[in-house]
Amino acid sequence: MSITEIETYGVERIPDADRTATPFDLFRVAFGGANTFATCVLGAFPILFGLSFWHGVAATLLGLTVGALILAPMALFGPLNGTNNAVSSSAHLGVHGRIVGSFLSLLTAVAFFSISVWSSGDALVGGAHRLVGLPESGWVYGVAYAVFALLVLVVCVYGFRFMLFVNKIAVAAASLLFVLGLFAFAGDFDPGYAGTLGAGDPLFWPSFIGAALIVLSNPVSFGAFLGDWSRYIPAHTPRRRVMAAAFLSQIATVLPFTFGLATASIIAAKAPQYVDPAAPNYVGGLLAVSPGWYFVPVCLIALIGGMSTGTTSLYGTGLDFSSVFPRFSRVQATLFIGTLSIVFIFAGRFAANLTQSISTFATLIITCTAPWMVIMALGYLTRRGWYDADALQVFNRRQRGGRYWFTHGWNWRGMTAWLASAALALAFVNLPGQFVGPLGELAGGVDVSLPLGLAAAALLYLALLSLFPEPREVYGPAGPRLVRAADVPVPPIVPATAEV
């Protein structure tokens, strides 16, 4: 299929003949979607929290490594089943329960698409203002946002091949521009930047862990989307290569994270008003400390990064929406959700001033997504990687029954584990000045929501599978691993109008 042909496949299983992508293609899309200006903003958080540069490096490496390890198994479902991860989740949450994955990915995509457009648009306008005196007025920002959003929408309508082409360019170009930043800021950078919190300060560990969790949230945010891209990888591809591609795509983002961390330390030393935790403005601070010749690279990073992140987010949004409402084709769903997202971007920026709260919203969504990812990964482990690709499509074909019908289309084991662990994680969220859950202060100011949610999901899901075994037929010929199975029949696949 040519990059100029509009992709027609939705969430139905991709035919083997058309699955010609490679693990390296997955690496480029996943890395390209994170090798952006928005990731630099996340990289600045350790400095905003008062950490030194080297403590910030340690928090970043910890968050990236743990997040990449959590993310890697989510790349396996696409090649196995030839569809996206939300549809694959039918095997563990039920034919109807799979809407949880679609809903989470929909919210995540809209949130990160908005963050991408806003941060990239602000950087582009700010750079143009410093470079050629372009006025920083509302209508100029509006034009920048509109151009970004419409370009992204066009790429997403054309589909996976066009998106892959854009990311091929984005990965190389953005990486080169970040490396160029080493020369731009070499004279001002001080690796000995001490921050405002010493290791003995009572706020040090809460800040260190909070910074690591913010970094960790970036890899986790890709969990629901990996299947959107990996479904074009042939099923016979070695699984270790697929997982390695997903893992390394996030480890590679140490480049934009370090850029954000290093430049934030320069901003804190030379223009501290821009890193005030009450009203941080990393983009403004970066432009304030950048040499004049680096304004053009900043604008290019904003443009390339906005395209890359926006396409990876919005493409998955359209695909998931078409899976929840099968009457919509992928193109129709992409246009519909894309239009709504653009309306949200303008309303949120100019009417409701949601640019700060959307970051909090995205963090809360990820807090709910992480337990879902654990259930998927453990489900894969207990099923020995065996799935019935035909039974996964029951919902999309408006049918009933099959291996994954469970109880009226819901697998209450997976649903209970997800609901309980997500609720527990939300209760322990501690984002000072933004959102603090009812139990958020119990850990001494440390945000333990993500690790608590991950652990609770793992323990509760395995316990429910052991106490209330699933039908043996969902496990395939080799049987279950770690848990028991029940010898009960599963209903046949029938039209939706028939009784099950």
- pLDDT per residue over 85-125, tens digit each? 989 999 999 999 998 988 888 887 777 777 778 877 887 88
Identify whether the C-beta of residue 51 lies closer than 8 Å to the C-beta of residue 211: yes
The residue-averaged pLDDT of 41-58 equals: 92
Contact 38, 119 (CB under 8 A): yes
Percentages (nearest 5) of helix, strand, coil residues in the chain: 65, 5, 30
CA distance 302 to 120: 4
Q: Is 80 exceeded by the pLDDT of residue 408?
A: yes
Backbone angles phi, psi at 210, to 5 degrees: -60, -40
Q: What residues are paired with 44 via a beta bridge?
A: none
Alpha carbon 427 to its chain centroid, in Å, reads: 22
pLDDT at residue 384 tops 90: yes
Q: What pLDDT shows up at residue 322?
A: 67
Tokens 């809209």, residue? 110
Which residues have CB under 8 Å from 235's CB, separation 6+?
Answer: 16, 19, 79, 80, 82
Q: Output the CATH code of domain 18-360.
A: 1.10.4160.10
Tokens describing residue 147: 């151009």
Give residue-wise pLDDT tens across range 274-290.
877 666 778 788 888 98
Res 403 pLDDT > 70: yes
- Say if residues 392 and 79 touch (Cβ distance below 8 Å): no
Owner of token pair 């290569």: 241
DSSP annotation of 290 reads: S
Q: Report whether pLDDT(2) > 60.
A: no
pLDDT of 469 > 70? The answer is: yes
Residue predicted with more confidence, 182 or 405? 405
Average pLDDT rounded to a whole number, residues 243-251: 96
Percent residues over pLDDT 70 in the chain: 93
145 pLDDT higher than 90: no
pLDDT band at 398 (very low <50, low <70, confident <90, very high): confident
Per-residue pLDDT of 357-379, as tens digits, reads: 666 777 788 889 999 999 999 99
**pTM (2 decimals)?**
0.87
What is the residue-averaged pLDDT of the chain? 86
List the chain domain ranges: 18-360
Q: Per-residue pLDDT for 340 more than 90?
A: no
